[in-house]
Amino acid sequence: METGGGNSLPGVGQDATKRKVCYFYDPEIGNYYYGQGHPMKPHRIRMTHALLAHYGLLGNLQVYKPNPARDRDLCRFHADDYVAFLRSISPETQQDQMRALKRFNVGEDCPVFDGLYPFCQAYAGGSVGGAVKLNHGHDIAINWAGGLHHAKKCEASGFCYVNDIVLAILELLKHHERVLYVDIDIHHGDGVEEAFYTTDRVMTVSFHKFGDYFPGTGDIRDIGYGKGKYYSLNVPLDDGIDDESYQSLFKPIMGKVMEVFRPGAVVLQCGADSLSGDRLGCFNLSIRGHAECVKYMRSFNVPLLLLGGGGYTIRNVARCWCYETGVALGVEVDDKMPPHEYYEYFGPDYTLHVAPSNMENKNSRQQLDEIRARLLDNLSKIRHAPSVQFQERPPDTEFPEQDEDQEDADERHDPASDMDVDGSKHPDETSRKPCSNNIQNEAQKVGGDHAKVAEPMAEDVSGPKASDVSSMAIDEPGSVKAEQQDTQNKLPETPVFAHQKP
Ligand SMILES: [Zn+2]
């Protein structure tokens, strides 16, 4: 691999152009520890990084250590009191904070652990930093520590504390009129969908297991609301879905989405719990099948933010995200794994790829055809990409990242630690708690932050709900003319923004 300077090797066909790729990694990330028996293991990010280093892929990337997201960065989506709580809580003080723990849903699935706040700052800083890079000429930005899609404005959920994805999308919206969010984690991308449920500036598309499964949302009938109607897409899937079935939906749906929505930037959450053999998952995707989604979204040549997410059989998570980093670069990574410090995790074959299982695929051809037809029909109701008129652009989030030297901190996990089985599970349902914070944040101003009901919303819901009519500001004409932006998808873009600082 001889190319440097952040340019990838040329691929083939429509992917033949090189991409300028950057990658965010905090060497401390693998030291954060959710606690004994907890399936979420930040160590998998360090394992991924070690594979990238030993495959020689880091030489083809610009590697950055993320600047920690500051309070004010997190408060662009999250409630002030929730952020203050995350900053102040510690394992030593949590007994005195029982009411707050309950209110913010912190304690069990989302435990308090040493360094919780710097952990949140690191993973959110990587995603926002990646968005800033995409806003300034990079083609692809990668943050495998990000993708924590369940976090809500004032509540932790499903191992997620702050929603780095929402924050990154808000950053991208400073430069792009429309941003597409795609989620291939096995769980519904509920936190991101909810934040942007009532806006047409962000389309969210989630492919997930649906039915008696965390978080319980993501019904095909949930399509967005108000101006956001038809701008949320949910693809409900059943156990055992294989590569072929998955791609029979992914490509036609995402092809149509790209055609009708024409985003200026794409955020792809690459949750690896949709892989075969995941400790919490029930799908049967191979790494190649999962990575096909990355390859396909990359082929549109639109600025692309690749994020991590779930993934609980950590040796396979590292395999997957290493392979997908290669896809981002246009490099086919060797199956034979180079020796490295975590080599023993990958025995007995020491290969990058693992065969999917022979589990039953419960998704019938007919079901898949019906889902595809229904979603394509919904997409046909979007006549043309929405356009907004305005405005002055807010300043970028300033992140003077430094190039990172690639040192690995020591580990405190043993190789078998992703194989243990314990009682920690996602809850079946979310319970949404009232949020007392009245500070208006930016997701609200792009028409997000309605308090969506926990039950799937029927398509024919009649009349607005008080909680759904928060759409504001974004489509009102502003007073300052915008600069024209060049975008790679050749759309005349009018950069917009949704902020009005109080
Ligand atoms: Zn997940």
Burial 205-229 (b: 16+ CB within 10 A, else e): bbbbbbeebbbbbbbbebbbbbbbb
**The domain containing residue 159 runs over which residues?**
19-444
Q: Count the Cβ atoms, other than its own, within 10 Å of residue 253.
A: 21
Q: How far, in Å, is the centroid of ligand 1 from the Cα of 457?
A: 21
Peptide bond into 118 cis (omega under 30): no
Centre of ligand 1 to C-alpha 494, Å, is 34
Q: How far apart are CA 37 and CA 286, in angstroms?
A: 26
Per-residue confidence (pLDDT) for residue 446, from 0 to 100: 67
Distances in Å between the Cα of 35 and the Cα atoms of 31, 38, 86 are: 11, 6, 17
Paired tokens of 327: 């896809």
The CATH number of whichever domain residue 296 belongs to comes to 3.40.800.20
CB 186, CB 278: distance < 8 Å: yes
Q: Residues annotated as binding site for substrate?
A: 109, 158, 312
CA distance 292 to 154: 35
The whole-number pLDDT of residue 445 equals: 63
Question: What's the gap in Å between 282 CA and the centre of ligand 1?
Answer: 11
- Centre of ligand 1 from the C-alpha of residue 11, in Å: 30
Q: How would you classify residue 226: left for phi > 0, otherwise alpha for psi between -120 and 50, otherwise beta?
A: left
Exposure string over 76-92, b if 16+ CB within 10 A, otherwise e = bbbbbbbbebbeebeee
Residue type, 14: Q
Residues 436-480 pLDDT 10s: 333 346 666 664 444 343 333 333 333 332 233 233 233 322 222
Q: Give a yes or no: residue 4 inside a domain.
A: no
The arrangement of strands across the sheet holding 140-143 comes to: 232-237, 202-209, 179-183, 265-269, 304-307, 140-143, 21-24, 62-65, 402-403
Residues of the chain with pLDDT under 50: 1-13, 401, 404-440, 447-502
User: In whole angstroms, how far apart are CA 306 and each of 69, 126, 252?
Assistant: 18, 11, 21
Residue 155 contacts residue 190 (beta carbons within 8 Å): no
Binding residues are 109, 158, 185, 187, 273, 312
Q: What are the helix (H) ranges across 19-136?
A: 43-54, 71-74, 80-88, 98-103, 116-135
Residue 66 lies in a domain: yes
- What's the gap between Cα 169 and its chain centre? 10
> 205-261: per-residue pLDDT in tens?
999 999 999 999 999 999 999 999 999 999 999 999 999 999 999 999 999 999 999
Binding site feature residues for a divalent metal cation: 185, 187, 273
Residue 450 placed within a domain: no
Measured in angstroms, how far is the CA atom of residue 482 from the centroid of ligand 1?
A: 38
Task: Please report where in the chains the tokens 């007073």 appear, as a residue.
Answer: 479
The total domain count for the chain is 1
Residue 491 lies in a domain: no
At 319, list the tokens.
Answer: 């395999």
CB 25 within 8 A of CB 49: yes
Catalytic residue among 43, 150, 290, 413: 150
| 475 domain residue, yes or no | no
Enter the pTM of the model: 0.82
Separation of 185 CA from ligand 1 center, angstroms?
A: 5
Tell me if residue 136 is catalytic.
no
Straight-line distance from the first to the last Cα atom of the chain, in angstroms, rounded to the nearest whole number:
50
CA 145, distance to chain mean position in Å, is 10
Query: At 226, which amino acid appears?
Result: G
Q: Distance between CA 139 and CA 294 in Å, rounded? A: 13
Nearby residues for ligand 1 (ion, Cβ within 5 Å)? 185, 187, 271, 273, 310
Q: How far apart are CA 64 and CA 60, in angstroms?
A: 13
Q: 35 near 111, Cβ under 8 Å?
A: yes
CB 279 within 8 A of CB 312: yes
- Per-residue confidence (pLDDT) for residue 393, from 0 to 100: 79
CA of 150 to the centre of ligand 1 (A): 9
Residue 478 lies in a domain: no
Whether the upstream peptide bond of residue 348 has omega within 30° of 0, thus cis, is yes
What pLDDT sits at residue 394? 83
**Centre of ligand 1 from the C-alpha of residue 268, in Å:** 14
Q: Kindly state whether residue 197 falls inside one of the protein's structural domains.
A: yes
CA distance 422 to 435: 32
Q: For tokens 């979310």, name the residue.
A: 430
| 255 contacts: CB under 8 Å, gap ≥ 6 | none
Neighbours of 342 (CB within 10 A): 24
Whether residue 6 is contained in a domain is answered as no
